[in-house]
Structure 1
Amino acid sequence: MSESKSLQGAAVWRGAEMVNNDRWVKTFPAHVLDQIDAALAQTHNVDWRNINRQNFPLPDAGAFFDDVREELENGSGMVKIRGLDVSRYDAEQLRRIWYALGAHLGTPMFQNCRGEVMREIKDEGMGVGAKLYGATVDSSGKPFLSSGARTLSPGQLRFHTDRCDVVGLLCVRQASEGGVSKLASSATVYNEMLKRRPDLHALLCKPIPRSRFGEEAGGEHIAYDLPIFGVRDGKLTSHFSLTYIENAQMLPGVRKLSDAEHEAIQMLMALAEEECFQMRFAPGDIQLLNNHIVYHGRTAFVDDVQTGQDRMLMRLWLSMPNSRALPDDHAVLWGDVASGKPHGGIAQPAAALPA
């Protein structure tokens, strides 16, 4: 393996410099908002699942969407879009708007083995997430929830990435307390680890066992190997979710991580915390993150249903037309690794696919 080099470019940023930097914050132009309302009116009898770029036209939004895609792929890797007044729309209208925006930006991908392409992210109540996404017990007998199950609880979420080029979140309601988004440049984490501990950095460029626990029906193997760091053509991809690494360690026949590999993973998480910044959603905010170069997490939250402050986000997973090429050994997770090809999403059971 050739010697690793530090990454360069706009994807390498520190949280402290992004707090008051508005390069990644964009506002819907007034004419785009007008065209959203016009398209919404002409699709009043169309189910949101049947919305597409043709029946929900936004003819003058092309330059705006190009700018968003450019920032996501070749800029900081994140965009916050403001200006959508969610109070003006009911739930079904918001679904049509949000799905249409996703279709104009990229291609919505399946988020789970039940064929969902849009997911409401909220506290589903005790046990619902485990039922939908799976749970088991760890070596001490304590419940161990899948990543999907943790998303549907009010607890904190550790730094991770999702299995898509870009994850999009539309904030409909915010919690009364907490629910703060934490963002870190995985390119900065990569560089810092290379500088401080090249020995540990090298371990994360080699295969690490993962599981598909609670994630999908289908796929060749319950467990698979994938490096945490991969670079192709000078661009990073870092797929990381500690839950799937931890679960793989519970499975029979899976290689056990060395002490050094555990140390490397802990250092990655510590660096993400060190280099991150926090942002709190306001209703109407849209957050778009390139999972190849941004780690995201969330603080715990407390809802207050009586005051209408019960956190609810609408999530899309998008494959992007200008996405980067990925290393060949990442095909086990991403499928086609060529630039601009459909990346990620969750494999569907054969019975659920159209004939």
Structure 2
Amino acid sequence: MMWTEDNLPLYDNAQAWTGTSMARRTDWIHEMSAGEIAEIDAAVAPNDASGVDILDISIEDFPLPSLSEKLRAFRREVLHGRGFQLIRGLPVERYTRRQAAIAYWGIGLHIGEAVSQNGKGHVLGHVANLGLNYTDPEVRGYQTNARLPYHCDASDIVALLCLRTARSGGLSSVASSTTCWNEIVRRRPDCALTLLQPLYYTRWGEVPSGKLNYDSVPVFAPCEGRLITTYIRSAVLKAQALPGVPKLTSAQIEAMDVLDSLTTDPELHLDMAFLPGDIQLVSNYSVFHSRTSYEDWPEIERRRHLMRLWLACSDGPVVPHFLNERHGQTATGRPDGIRVPGVRLVAPLEVA
């Protein structure tokens, strides 16, 4: 469709919410019951004792008789509803690292298929400060303690499990990308039109077969009656150093500035403090997520540590063709994360 300032769509659906409205609600938080935790414990024990590689654990190996139904409902809410969910109470304090990973992997199996998060083939990721410099063109923000601007990742759902919190800071924040779009249309339709056009992104040196070391996608894409969003401003800026990437125009820079100002509006975003054992599920298509900077503990064994899954869901929303061209597809036709030729999938237990 040919969009003009006069025919830009506005969306009044479950994906359009404000942070202040969500702060008054608690339906996005699920406290696991003793019975649900017992189901997880019962599934973890035999898999841990067998010594099986986490990658080889299937959904049949991890039965959750009652919790599985709730996890399916959470998946539907994340994919087709408000776009996020917090599951609270996984007993990570009494689990070994392997047991926590098995529990998290098993829960993830009931939500979707884990896909690779980086060029190393990690399907189980670790979000921790490696002391790297975020200004380096090939360093990604999760490897630092820097503030992460609002962005989306390359899968249907991104899931985070909190093992340990920082000494201070490190709040997680979410904002409805649909609400941000609506506000841009109302306030600056010229910027909305700009954000419907492709921006160029670095691939961080993680290049799939047959692809360039950059790609181009729009921030906002109307699709099948809803909005699909893709945005990582740091990747756009770092792509500027790559040969063949057009220079950003003043209109593109202004449009991103307008978008970023909306995501940081306290009326629009929702902050949440992670507790050990919290699992956060976020739709990459309808929710921008971010993290404040943090100060870590001096002791290595106390430092902030999250495990991460990127999940592909067969019942996810229809996505524009360019997202499948960007990432490739899983067997069920969903975006397949970051796949680099010759790199096998692994689920490391340690930060790497």
Q: Please give the alpha-carbon distance, in whole angstroms, between the structure 2 residues aligned to 1:162 and 1:298.
A: 14
In the alignment, is residue 347 of structure 1 matched against residue 351 of structure 2? no
Shift of 1:13: 0.7
Aligned equivalent of 1:267: 258
Match of residue 303, structure 2, among 307, 310, 313? 310
* Aligned partner letter, 1:314: M
Structure 2 counterpart of 1:57, from 63, 80, 96:
63
- Tell me the CA shift for residue 57 of structure 1: 1.5
The secondary structure found in structure 2 opposite 1:114 is coil
Partner of 1:210 in structure 2? 201
In the TM superposition, what are the counterparts of 1:227-266 in structure 2 within 5 Å? 227-266=218-257
Alignment pair present for 1:80 and 2:72: no
Equivalent of residue 320 in structure 1, options 301, 313, 319: 313
**What SS does structure 2 have at the residue aligned with 1:54?**
helix
The structure-2 alpha-carbon separation of the partners of 1:351 and 1:118, relative to structure 1 and needing over 3 Å to count, comes to closer
Contact 2:121–2:343 (CA under 8 A) maintained in structure 1:
no
CA distance in structure 1 between the partners assigned to 2:29 and 2:231 by the alignment? 25
Give the direction of change, closer, same or farther, for the CA distance of 1:50–1:336 in structure 2 (3 Å limit). closer
Matches within 5 A, 1:136-285: 143-146=135-138, 148=140, 150-274=141-265, 275-285=268-278
CA RMSD of aligned residues (A): 2.2
Please tell me whether residue 35 in structure 1 is matched to residue 39 in structure 2.
Answer: yes
Letter paired with 1:227? P
| 2:107 alignment counterpart | 101
CA contact (8 A) 1:147 1:243 kept: no
Contact 1:69 1:322 in 2 (8 A): no
Q: Which residue of 2 aligns with 1:140?
A: none
- Higher mean Cα deviation, 272-281 or 324-333? 324-333
Unaligned runs of 5+ in 2: 347-352
**Per-residue deviation, residues 80-139 of structure 1 (Å, max 9, x unmatched):** 0012121121111001111111111100000111111111111123x4xx6xxxx8xxxx
Task: Select which of 9, 13, 21 maps to 2:25.
Answer: 21
- Aligned-pair CA distance for 1:286: 0.6
* Separation in structure 1 between the aligned mates of residue 8 and residue 341 of structure 2, nearest angstrom: 39
Question: 1:281-304: per-residue Cα shift (whole Å, max 9, x none)?
Answer: 011111110010111111111122
Q: What per-residue deviation string (whole Å, max 9, x for no partner) do you get for residues 193-247 of structure 1?
A: 0111111101111111222123345341122221110121112111100121112
- Distance in 1, matches of 2:214 and 2:172, equals 29
CA pair 61-202 structure 1, distance change in 2 beyond 3 A: same
Residue 341 of structure 1: CA displacement? 2.8
Q: Distance in 1 between matches of 2:311 and 2:139?
A: 19
Q: Could you tell me whether the CA contact under 8 Å between 2:204 and 2:213 is conserved in 1?
A: yes
What secondary structure sits across from 1:240 in the alignment?
coil
What secondary structure does 2:59 align onto?
A: coil
Q: Contact conserved, 1:113 with 1:349, CA < 8 A, in 2?
A: no
Kept in 2, the 8 Å contact 1:146–1:214? The answer is: yes
Distance, in Å, in 1 between the alignment partners of 2:174 and 2:191 is 23
Match of 1:344, SS state, is coil
CA distance in 2, matches of 1:225, 1:192: 24
Amino-acid identity (%): 33
- Following the alignment from structure 1 to structure 2, what is the Cα–Cα distance between the partners of residues 353 and 34? 30
